[in-house]
Amino acid sequence: MNRFISTRPQPALLHPGFASGLEAALRVARAPAQHKLMQIGDMGGAKKPYALIDGIAVIGVQGVLIDKLGWWGSDYVTGYDCLRWQIAAAHEDADVRGIVLDIDSCGGTVAGCFDLCDFAVDAKRQTGKPVVAILTENAFSAAMALASTADSIAVPRTGGVGSIGVVTMHWDISGLLEKYGEKVTVIAAGAHKADGNPYGPLPEDVLARLSAEVEDLRQLFAATVVRNRAGAPNAPTLDGVLATEARTYSGPAELAEALQLGLADAILAPADAFAAFAAHVNAA
């Protein structure tokens, strides 16, 4: 079965299904109450801001990942602000003996991602509670960064990991405007105030600066994954992560390669991964 028409999995911004996913996420974000989401801090009748199964808090990292949403409970969009609240609550909850990050996401925004990663790692260190990432298909891009904060990463054989890189786009619509007889005059105070505007070609110096910026972020991303995964049985190296050049890994052969690179620890069906973690937590 083809969920998306694509030759291979791709990170959020480039994934053929991302546009429809983003559209769904925007519908949810515009009318969260209508989609039965709850505000951060509001349990909506629930006892906890996550499912609690066999002493394990299950926190969903689903759909498009954004910095500030203010609501929780959607399969289409997840806010880093919500995840921070849920992770903090789970670590403080005496009923919680372990935490599962239930991840299925092609990624999201840079803003807020690495601060959340730092918070998750610090919270885990302070409480000592075990945390695992169980992929219910994919963890690409920003979702891969969040998965790396766990003690282990389990991916199903049809899932995928990777895309440790950063992407942005410039849209030059000057040709389209010219076709329709329109002309936009950008009036800016400050030589760089209008850098990257879509009403003309991207100047070479601006392209060079933006390219350097995304490369800096890629270096930060790679270093964060290597730091977070330092305790893994097969810990990744910085050179190894950078050498992936933001490639994605999916399917049995590629996932075996991802395990060798230290981007995941096991190829397991989600139910099997949860059962193994529950047995470990409850045997302790």
Q: What is the DSSP letter of 50?
A: S
Contact 109, 127 (CB under 8 A): no
Of the residues 74, 124, 129, 141, which is catalytic?
141
Q: Which residues contact 258 (CB under 8 A, 6 or more apart)?
A: 155, 161, 162, 249, 264
3-class DSSP state for residue 114?
helix
Q: For the chain, first and last CA: distance in Å?
A: 40
CA distance 131 to 96: 11
**DSSP percent split of the chain into helix, strand, coil, nearest 5:** 40, 20, 40
Structure tokens at 264: 């995941």
* Torsion angle of C-alpha atoms 84, 87, 91, 96, degrees rounded to 10: 160
Asked about 141 being catalytic, the answer comes back as yes
Asked about 193 being catalytic, the answer comes back as yes
Of the residues 6, 36, 193, 211, which is catalytic?
193
Catalytic residues: 141, 193
